Every structure is written in C-alpha cells, then in structure tokens.
Amino acid sequence: MTKERVRKTWTPRKHQAVSSLAAGILGFICLQFAPELAIVLGIIGINCAMLAKKLGETGNIRLSGLVMSIFSLVLGIMSLLFVALAVVLYYLLL
C-alpha cells in the first residue's frame, strides 16, 4: 500500500474512532488496579466517539469504542462506590 492510499483511508474521523476504542479498552483493563483511571479513560473515550460521530464516522469501530468507554465509566464508578461502602462499613463495625 502506498503512502498516498494510506493517507486517504485514515481520516481524522477514523483517528477519533480508533482512539475512542483504545481508550475504552484501556479503561476496561485499568478497572483491575485503578478505577479512577478507568473513569477518566471512559470519559475521554466517550468524548472521542462523539467527536467522531460529529465528523461523520458511522462505522463499527466508533460504536464499539463508545460501548467500551461507557462500560469502563460505569464499572469504574461502581467499583469506587463499592470500595467507599466497604470502608464505611469497616469503620462502622469496629
């Protein structure tokens, strides 16, 4: 594939869709050790997916990035709430 053809296929909207997917996947991985980072990456991924939609991207990469980012955001918030609840219950039961 020539450089000219690669430049034509990779548009800014495609870059935004791929970065949304990457942020969603990284956020999902970060749930194990840093839920705060998963929340931040989820927000970034949702913003990138919305920007890709605004630029005209309608492919499955954008949609899967949006779904993964929403999952990482929601699960990150749930895990932080679970940890906060566990800490509160620990100190109440002492």
Could you read off the pLDDT of 60-87 as tens digits, one per residue? 899 999 999 999 999 999 999 999 999 9
**48 close to 65: Cβ distance less than 8 angstroms:** yes
Place of tokens 């929403």: 70
> Would the pTM count as exceeding 0.85?
no
Q: What is the radius of gyration, based on Cα positions, of the chain?
A: 17
pLDDT tens digits, residue range 35-62? 999 999 999 999 999 999 998 888 889 9
